[in-house]
Every structure is written in C-alpha cells, then in structure tokens.
Amino acid sequence: MKPTPDKYSLIIIGGGIVGLSTAITWSKNRDSSQYPVLLLEKQPIVGGMVTSFKRKGFIFDTAQLVPDPLELFKYLEIDCELIKFKNYFSRIFLVNGNNATEIRIPSGYNEFREMLLDRYPSQKKSINRFFDYSKKMFDELQYLKLEPTLFDLLFILFKCPKTVFNSGRTFSEYFRKFGFSDPELSEIFDVFAAFSGLPSERAVAMMTVAAMNTSLLGPWRPTKGFIHLPHAMKRKALDLGCEIRTRANVKQIVVENGIATGVRLETGEFIKSDTIVTTIDTKTALFNLIGRDVLHEINPKYTEKADQVNMSPSSMIISLGLDDYIDLDSLGLNCGYNVITTGKGTFERLFKAFDNGEYILDDKCFHTAVICPSLITGGKPVIIIRVVPMPIGNWKLLRETDYSLYTKKKEEVADFYIKQIERYLIPDLSKHIIVRDIASPATFERYSGSPSGSNYDMSPYPDNFGLKRLPTRTPVKGLFQPKFSHGIWPSMQAGIQVVDMILGGEIMNGYSRYREKIPAPVIRD
C-alpha cells in the first residue's frame, strides 16, 4: 500500500463525472508520486448522477445519451465501449387534440437543415440564415477563454462577434431575428431549447445553439450501461496514480485567512492541501462546507452572485421493464429521444409552475421524452420516460415522513404520463409492463447531494453564462468550483478546464473548450 502523504497537491470533492475528469486530467499532467491527488466521494461508489440499477432482472440507467463524446473520451483515455444511436436524433410528436404530428429530426447538422428545407420550402431563406449564422456562432466557442485578459477580450470582440452580440439574448429572442413565419418551426426549436434545460424564453441563445450542434452530431451510450462510464474513469484515474476514497463525506472546507488549507471529513479527519476542487452542488460547498459568513467576509460580491444562481430543475424518471410481446422497433423507437409535447409555450407554462414549487398534470399541457435504450444496446426491453421540470417541492419530506403517500404521488405522475404515451406513441403500453421504477427529485437529491435534486446544475440563464457565470476560481485562494455541468460532455470539459486553470493554461491555453487542436495561443508583444 502507498504511504499516505502528509499533504496532497490536489483534493477533489465528489466522484461524479466532473470529479473523475478532474482526477484523470491532473494525473495525466502531473506525476502523482510527486504531486499526489486525492478524490473524496461520500457514496460507496463513484459516478454520482451517472449510474445504473437493476430491478427484477431489468437494468436501467439514469443518464441516456452522451453527445459528441469521442474527442473527450480520447483525451481522458476512457476505456468504455460506446455505441451510436441509429436512425433519428429525435422524433417530435406535436399534440393536437387526439392526434399528434410526427416530425423526425435526423442526426447531423446538415441533415437536419436539409430535412427542414424539404419540409418547409417557404422558409428557405430563414432556415439557411439561421443554420449558417448558428454554425459560425458555435465555431466561435473555440476562442472563448475562462479568464480572459484585456488583450484576450479585444481578440474575442474581433474574432467572436456573434457570441458577443448575442451573449445577453435568450434563444427565443435570437430565433425571432431570423424571420421564421411557420409556427411549427418554433415548436421544433423549442424542443432543442428544452434539451438545454430551460424554455426558449429563458435559455441563453448560445446554450441552445451549442446543445443543438453537439447533440446533432449523434448521440452515443456505453454499450454495457452507463455505470460502466464512471467505473472506467475510476480505473483510469487509479492507473494514473490518483488516490480515491469512497464513503468519505466532506463536512468542511477549511479556510484560514482567506486561503484553503484542507478538508475535514464527517469522521473528524483533517486532510491537508493548498488546492481543492469542489465538484458538489456549488451552493452547498460554498455556504455549508465553508460558511456564508466566512465567504462574505472574503468577497461579498461573489457571495451575492452565488446566492442568485438558479439551479436547473429536477425531474421524474419512470423506468419501465416490458414483456417480450411488444415490438418497440416497429414503433420507430430505435432512435434518440421521442418527445411528446403539447407545444405552444407548454415548456414555459410548466416552468412557471416549477417556479412556484408545483407541477402540472394536464393532458392539454405536458412535455415528456421517451427513450428505448434496449433497442440500442440489446437486453430485455425497457423504456425510460423523462419528466422535466419537476421541483423538489415536498418530495424529500414525503419520502422521509410518509413513504406510502410518497409512492402514491409518484404513481399518479407515472400513470398520467403512461396514459399520454399510450395515446400518442406506444398503444397498450400498460399491458406490457412487468417492472416500473419511479425516481423523484428526492432520488436525485440522494445521488448528488444537491438540495434541489437539480439534474444539470446551474440553469443557463443569460445572467449566469459566459463571462457572467459564477467564476470557477473562487475568492478563497486555492479553491476552485468548476460546476456548470449541463450533462456529461460539459462535465468532462469542466474537469479539463479546471486543471488547465490550476496549471496556468498548460493543457488548453485557458480556452474554455477542449479540442484536439487547441487554437494557438494569442501572441502578445
């Protein structure tokens, strides 16, 4: 056994995808025998929100797809076999009374454009302008930096005019610029905004454009289930010499005179390090593990900014194990997401209820995504129903105080959505169900430790995005919080970004997006 160092060069709090990516990136760039790194995870296994579970022989996953993963998997040297979704990236079912109009979104940016041109010839000019402009704006991302200098900012102004111009715009404001007149098109793009976690009236334009660009490249999933992803990442981190301790619940980030000096575990053990990366819920880390007063004394502005951060919503996940007498393939389920929505501002209405801690069960106002992983990876037939947004509300309290009411309420939500899916997508679905497992926001609160059960960390509102985002470098010297998340791909990016920041830009010159070919550093005289 390796001797335990008196002091670590880096401590990482949390063993989800961000924590594991941070651990691998550090160990790839520093010899861990000289610069020891320790990852602390409070659960018995790593992975956080990316996990799998078994019910009566059926295997279910929490996460469902990873968009555009290959470059990052290669950099992080993750040995986990992936399989690409076939056919469509998604199918959208726009509900209109008892019928639904089906719109098939192919994988690939150009394929999507072609499909739209074909379906909406009268919108040709707007479609072409939108796609050309959005592609250029997405490409500008490669020049953005996390901590730009004044010189970088001037360079960005010159090199990234579209990003700068649209930085304060929501996706719906952005979309209106292109003069679309067919309402069905805004319904389609509203679904893309929903993939970025917010309605188009709220999501910052760049987030939706980026989600669209990366997702359309084709979604993938681990062949043997999502739990194999964090396991493979853990193996890599261990191979590279990183130390990982599970069942290690961090209770305090110790700060002396504005400087991080180490962490204290629930057991009372103190572990020293001058550099700490927290990958757990940001507000919990800042306000509970450090303390609001301590942070406020160091930097009131940062504290207020952290206070104002809106966390992304939680969800309800209904996992169904089905019998063999259902032909999901013939129903077209061999694709990415199948979105069923009542459209016409539905997602915004659901969010208004969410803002008040409520949810709506109304067959004139619902939005859900159905996915069928077993058709991609094989195995017993399963389908997953995602219901977003779902507030934490009193789910946690109910779970702890009245389990039978908690179960009853979950069943009510599941029954409602199964009914809608039977109506528009899978006739007689309920007759084929053998197992049903319903995860509530209280489940995700347990997986991640986030009090809101948030699935995607901070919400991408325009006032917390890009340069306005809560900075990764906290005002506590030596403490970093790279959490912005929004899925597995951004979580991996976040891990690489934060190590790059700690190492003074050694890996990607301070750019915010890892690419195999990082743009050359800006030359300064």
Ligand X SMILES: Cc1cc2nc3c(=O)[nH]c(=O)nc-3n(C[C@H](O)[C@H](O)[C@H](O)COP(=O)(O)OP(=O)(O)OC[C@H]3O[C@@H](n4cnc5c(N)ncnc54)[C@H](O)[C@@H]3O)c2cc1C
List residues binding ligand X (CB under 6 A).
Answer: 13-19, 40-43, 48-50, 62-66, 249-250, 279-280, 315, 317, 444, 448-449, 455-456, 483, 485, 487-489, 491
Residue number, 119 or 446, with CB nearest to ligand X: 446
Q: Count other Cβ atoms within 10 Å, centred on residue 463.
A: 12
Structure-token match 């490409």, residue found: 139
Quickly list DSSP for 5-60: PSEESEEEE--SHHHHHHHHHHHHHS-TTTS-EEEE-SSSSS-TT--EEEETTEEE
State the nearest-atom distance from the C-beta of 219 to ligand X, in Å: 8
Distance (Å, rounded) from C-alpha 327 to C-alpha 117?
Answer: 32
State the nearest-atom distance from the C-beta of 160 to ligand X, in Å: 25
Residue number, 142 or 252, with CB nearest to ligand X: 252
State the nearest-atom distance from the C-beta of 134 to ligand X, in Å: 20
- Residues 6+ away with beta carbon under 8 Å from 169: 204, 205, 462
Residue number, 128 or 252, with CB nearest to ligand X: 252
Distance (Å, rounded) from C-alpha 483 to C-alpha 508?
Answer: 18
Token duo for residue 40:
């602390």
Distance (Å, rounded) from C-alpha 306 to C-alpha 311?
Answer: 11
State the nearest-atom distance from the C-beta of 352 to ligand X, in Å: 22
State the nearest-atom distance from the C-beta of 523 to ligand X, in Å: 35
State the nearest-atom distance from the C-beta of 388 to ligand X, in Å: 9
Residue number, 347 or 444, with CB nearest to ligand X: 444
Residue number, 65 or 144, with CB nearest to ligand X: 65
3-state secondary structure 106-146: ECCHHHHHHHHHHHCHHHHHHHHHHHHHHHHHHHHHHHCEC
State the nearest-atom distance from the C-beta of 132 to ligand X, in Å: 27
Residue number, 166 or 448, with CB nearest to ligand X: 448
The C-alpha angle with vertex 70 and arms to 67 and 72, in degrees rounded to 5, equals: 95
Residue number, 63 or 383, with CB nearest to ligand X: 63
Sheet holding 276-278, edge to edge: 243-245, 37-40, 10-13, 276-278, 479-480
What residue type is 239 in one-letter code?
D
